[in-house]
Structure 1
Amino acid sequence: MKDQIQSLASLSGPFPPFDLDAACDGPCDLFSVWLREAIEAGVKEPHAMVLSTVDDSGAPDARVLILKNLDHRGWHFATTDAGPKGQQIAANPYVALTFYWQPLGRQVRIRGIALRAPEAERGRDFRRRSAAARAVALVGRQSEILASRRELDLAVETQARRIVETPDIAAPNWSLFMVMPHQVEFWQGNPDRLHQRLRYRKAKSGWLREPLWP
């Protein structure tokens, strides 16, 4: 396996240019530009991101989620409070997000605090989900041990009927989080490994822009 892994190509390019001196004043604006360019380049699921948290023992945990929105409050994602993600955020709201757009050789790393959106926004987000996704969320047993697939099917069927009978129903533990950043790093890969890195760091006066060594 070692030889097979080490024979795989990485950062083969070509990649788009990144002019650090011409970068936007704030990280949200630059992220919007890079996300738009990823969409236009045909990157599959460019809104997929890794959410990293820590558990109650301080051990890191990570999983892939979907970005729901980006506004002046931060990067939005949704989950249930009853699952590991929600429980870990409740205990420690400091989180990290990572985006990687392989065809462009670009990575964005975000560190910040996850804050809950108002209840009305959480409800709207839940009702925008597909009927199947809402049924699974209403079951509310994320990450518990599953005895059988039949048990899962029956539970989802029951919640699907509830949705038909009560279309406006929302899972009581559903949350929409906004990651308010204090540090955002943009990484542009280069085949010669002279990668370009630009870090935005929150200060009292606004965002500081700091080029970093590769």
Structure 2
Amino acid sequence: MAGDSDTSSPSPDSSPSPDSPHSPDSFHATLHSLKVWDTQLPAFDPDAAPSAPLPLFREWFTHAAAAGQVEPHTMSLATVDSDGRPDVRILMLHDADARGWHFASHATSSKGRQLAAHPDAALVFYWPAVARQVRIRGRVTACGPKESRADLAVRSRGALAAALTGRQSEVLNSPQELAEASAAAWERAGAEPDAPAPTWTRYVLDPAEVEFFQGDAARRHIRLRYTRTPNTTTTWTRELLWP
């Protein structure tokens, strides 16, 4: 009879066992077993820090790479959408110079559209190998077609192929559709290394605020914040923050 069974309730045997990697117990056991900064951490004397953030960022970046940090050039980019809701993703740093922190994407992607409407954004680098974090806030500017295309010229064939594949953030009908478009883009990238990618855009975040965080095993973390003086490009105020 239809009333003899309740298909909306799982059977007793359907719940994952406590030892299953899918069980809540397994998740919490793993979560609470993880150690933080279980290694010797570098020292950081904020009084010896430079007067501007860029030299310190370059020093910390090079140190993280030498310490074995995997992909130290990856960073989080935070933007806001048309409703003011935050959005964040991981992407790669392309340069850091007097103009700011550089990255690239398609102007037609979600991040590209969000930056066009709301150019204020934030970046975060986290290097757990040395317990260091760098947070950057400022306004993003899109570079012109010439500089944007030059961004691809110094990168790999795969980077050009990905740019030529395009349609970033659009709805994908199937993995096969992506495979076919990607294969065609790889072939074109090999045959035409100077092929145009009209929507590919290089961006520069001009920093207004940069914070350096050095973790400490005793939780006496050091936070040094640089704030740029309004209407200047080279004058910064430095201050320590409580952790």
TM over 0.5: yes
2 CA distance for matches of 1:165 and 1:18?
Answer: 49
For 1:102-181, list aligned pairs within 5 A.
Answer: 102-181=128-207
Give the structure 2 partner of residue 39 of structure 1: 65
For 1:183-198, list aligned pairs within 5 A.
Answer: 183-198=209-224
* 3-state secondary structure, aligned to 1:103: coil
Asked if 1:25 corresponds to 2:51, the answer is yes
> Unmatched 5+ residue regions in structure 2?
1-26
Please report how far the alpha carbon of residue 116 of structure 1 lies from its aligned counterpart in structure 2 after TM superposition.
1.5
Native 8 Å contact 2:157 2:193 kept in 1: no
Give the structure 2 partner of residue 208 of structure 1: 237
Please report how far the alpha carbon of residue 43 of structure 1 lies from its aligned counterpart in structure 2 after TM superposition.
1.2
* 3-state secondary structure, aligned to 2:193: coil
Q: 2:119 aligns with which of 67, 76, 93?
A: 93
Native 8 Å contact 1:13 1:105 kept in 2: no
Native 8 Å contact 2:145 2:198 kept in 1: no
2 CA distance for matches of 1:140 and 1:151?
Answer: 13
- Choose 201-210 or 58-67, whichever is displaced more: 201-210
Report the structure number with the largest CA radius of gyration.
Answer: 2
Please report how far the alpha carbon of residue 165 of structure 1 lies from its aligned counterpart in structure 2 after TM superposition.
4.1
Structure with higher strand content:
1
Paired residue type of 2:146 = A
**Equivalent pairs, count:** 214
For 1:39-78, list aligned pairs within 5 A.
Answer: 39-78=65-104
Please report how far the alpha carbon of residue 119 of structure 1 lies from its aligned counterpart in structure 2 after TM superposition.
2.6
Native 8 Å contact 1:13 1:190 kept in 2: no
2 CA distance for matches of 1:136 and 1:39?
Answer: 26
Q: 1:16 aligns with which of 22, 37, 42?
A: 42
Question: Structure 1 residues 9 and 113 mapped into 2: Cα distance closer, same or farther (>3 Å)?
Answer: same
Paired residue type of 1:211 = L
Give the structure 1 partner of residue 17 of structure 2: none
Please report how far the alpha carbon of residue 135 of structure 1 lies from its aligned counterpart in structure 2 after TM superposition.
2.0
Native 8 Å contact 1:15 1:105 kept in 2: yes
Paired residue type of 1:16 = P
Percent identity for Structure 1 against Structure 2: 45
> Unmatched 5+ residue regions in structure 1?
none
